[in-house]
Amino acid sequence: MLDVDPYAALQRLRSVDSFTVTSTDFDDGGPLARPQWSHTVGGVDRSPQLSWSGFPERTRGFAVTCLDPDAPSGSGWWHWALLNLPLETTSLDAGAGAPGGPPLPAGAMVLRNEDGERAFGGAAPPRGTGEHRYQFVVHALDVPSLELDPDAAPAVLGIRCFMHALGRGILTGTVNRD
């Protein structure tokens, strides 16, 4: 496992408030439930239930990302990228936005993950790479929506979130297939 937090450098550049993110599917720092694993390794690629509170008063909208910073790619692996969640949205049901799953709020958009799908891609760390962290980040933004090309990479969303962030809540799940 790499000992690098991709959000630590941002904290040194510009401080933002932190707030609470929880899930009924896993505890912070604990293992992801099997449904959050990829179908390729016995899971079902179901995004976890997420709830957040305590975000800054000036928040006007949210984005949600999931990054595995420990992927052996040199740049991590984006599993999920949602944007344009309205201020009234303070939780997402498990499987939100997936075909046949709970719908996302009107105007919300899902970008393609690293597997090229407009969906949550479950955890499937390669054997021999140790424990991987899956950082579910809720970004509290100073704008109600971000104008992005629907084919933009999740990293582009990350840059926009950093530019518009008022606060950030991080919930980390782990998976180890060794």
Residues 88 and 110: their CA atoms lie apart, in Å, by 18
pLDDT at residue number 89: 97
pLDDT at residue number 97: 87
pLDDT at residue number 14: 66
Domain layout of the chain by residue ranges: 8-131+139-173
pLDDT at residue number 10: 47
pLDDT tens-digit map of 147-171? 999 999 999 999 999 999 999 999 9
Averages of pLDDT over runs of 10 residues in the chain (178 residues) are 53 77 98 97 97 98 96 92 98 93 95 96 96 97 97 95 95 95
Side-by-side strand order, sheet with 91-92: 20-22, 50-53, 91-92
Q: What is the CATH number that goes with domain 8-131+139-173?
A: 3.90.280.10
Q: Which is nearest to 160 in space by CA: 53, 61, 44, 17?
A: 61
pLDDT at residue number 74: 84
pLDDT at residue number 99: 85
pLDDT at residue number 3: 53
